[in-house]
Amino acid sequence: MNLEAMTEYLDSLIDRGIPSFDCMVYKNHEMIYHHMGGTIDAEYTKPISGKELYLMFSMTKVQTMVAFMQLVEQGKVCLEDEVGTYLPAYQNVMVKKDGTVEKLMSPLKMKHLVSMQSGLDYDLERAGIIRVLKEKGAQATTRELVDSFVETPLNFVPGERFFYSLSHDVVAAVIEVVSGMSFGEYLEKNIWEPLQMKHTFFAKPMNDLKNLATQFICTEQGEIVPMEPSCVYQLSECYQSGGAGLISCREDYMKFADTIACGGVSKDGVRIIKAESIETMKQNLLCDAGREDIARDMGRKGYGYGCGVQVLLEPELIGAKAPAGVFGWDGAAGSCITMDTETGISLVYIQHVRNCGWAYDEIHPTLRDFVFA
């Protein structure tokens, strides 16, 4: 590890326009590094304290996948199961193929959802969503909105490509059906309470919370400016997005990351998932075309993708100093969670800047290599 260089690098982010950062590293349940800096208000006057709340966006996905794998362990759902078994709206799906639209002949399976190979996309203006919100308004539920996704044809036959999408929102709806709880209730009972994650909950489409750090956005001109505290992925007041819906804090996400890096057992000795299930999450599920897609479209050359996490498969291909097997994911405001079960090391990095492309291209890989070298 090169923690001194990591501190110098993190401090340089403030000079480059990132309003604030909070970074922590654990190894086998012990904190080995913590550094934060900057300000968390629109006026750049309030220093970061470490107690701030943030919109976590796609960092939600890792929790959704752990929840899903808990149910797999219990034999209540399987990666090979057809989605239509749980969501009847997904039994008769149409797909775009060779310039036409036809009935999907091969079933959409859970393994396609968890690995972003479902054929769905991230179009929040799709016809079904607009229809449900017009009919139900703020009371539109997770199940109602998820069922509406397939009123639009899939973009390709499931399993043939990788395309980042609303797939994990569909997984959340399946979890509701299988567990008999709302998605939020399930997470609270099976992840948040066992790990004492006391500051994690679902966002609203617009949020006004005392401890919520100001959200910023990087403009087309490269200027970083304040923006409203919105989460567009929370489609209604009652919707609970399995792909991008959570508000949380560094402390809670560190508890979660440390638990997963240590084989599913928390610092307090509470097991929330089996070590074998975490290894299943880390297995690359992408076909060759899918690996080309994630490398080209998301800049993840050398990586595969399993159950909601990218997995470093060929570190030598990209000159990475981290070992093969390091896994995790990130969020739309530039945060990331990175873990390694071989060493028990976990990293949580948080910032709150939308459209900050260099967070993924530079910041996250740089921090990964400082920690895992």
Number of structural domains the chain divides into: 2
Residue 130 domain flag: yes
Query: Same domain, yes or no, for 126 and 15?
Result: no
Last residue of a domain, one of 129, 155, 179: 179
Residue 360 domain flag: yes
Separation between Cα atoms, residue 173 and residue 182, nearest integer Å: 8
Q: What is the pLDDT of residue 64?
A: 98
Q: What is the pLDDT of residue 373?
A: 86
Separation between Cα atoms, residue 313 and residue 300, nearest integer Å: 11
Residue 329 domain flag: yes
Query: Same domain, yes or no, for 316 and 251?
Result: yes
Query: Same domain, yes or no, for 202 and 289?
Result: yes
Residue 67 domain flag: no
Query: Same domain, yes or no, for 223 and 97?
Result: no
Give the domain CATH number at 8.
Answer: 3.40.710.10
Last residue of a domain, one of 179, 205, 226: 179
Query: Same domain, yes or no, for 21 and 148?
Result: no
Residue 113 domain flag: yes
Residue 65 domain flag: no
Residue 34 domain flag: yes
Residue 66 domain flag: no
Query: Same domain, yes or no, for 40 and 94?
Result: no
Q: Model pTM?
A: 0.97
Last residue of a domain, one of 161, 179, 197: 179
Q: What is the pLDDT along the chain (373 residues), one digit of tens a residue?
A: 888 999 999 999 999 999 999 999 999 999 999 999 999 999 999 999 999 999 999 999 999 999 999 999 999 999 999 999 999 999 999 999 988 999 999 999 999 999 999 999 999 999 999 999 999 999 999 999 999 999 999 999 999 999 999 999 999 999 999 999 999 999 999 999 999 999 999 999 999 999 999 999 999 998 999 999 999 999 999 999 999 999 999 999 999 999 999 999 999 999 999 999 999 999 999 999 999 999 999 999 999 999 999 999 999 999 999 999 999 999 999 999 999 999 999 999 999 999 999 999 999 999 999 999 8
Give the domain CATH number at 130.
Answer: 1.20.58
Query: Same domain, yes or no, for 107 and 214?
Result: no
Q: What is the pLDDT of residue 177?
A: 98
Structural domain harbouring 40 = 3-59+182-372
Query: Same domain, yes or no, for 217 and 312?
Result: yes
Query: Same domain, yes or no, for 92 and 193?
Result: no
Query: Same domain, yes or no, for 147 and 262?
Result: no
Query: Same domain, yes or no, for 13 and 80?
Result: no
Query: Same domain, yes or no, for 221 and 309?
Result: yes
Q: What is the pLDDT of residue 166?
A: 98
Do 174 and 64 meet the contact criterion of CB atoms below 8 Å apart?
no
CB atoms near residue 131 (< 10 Å): 14
Q: What is the pLDDT of residue 269?
A: 97
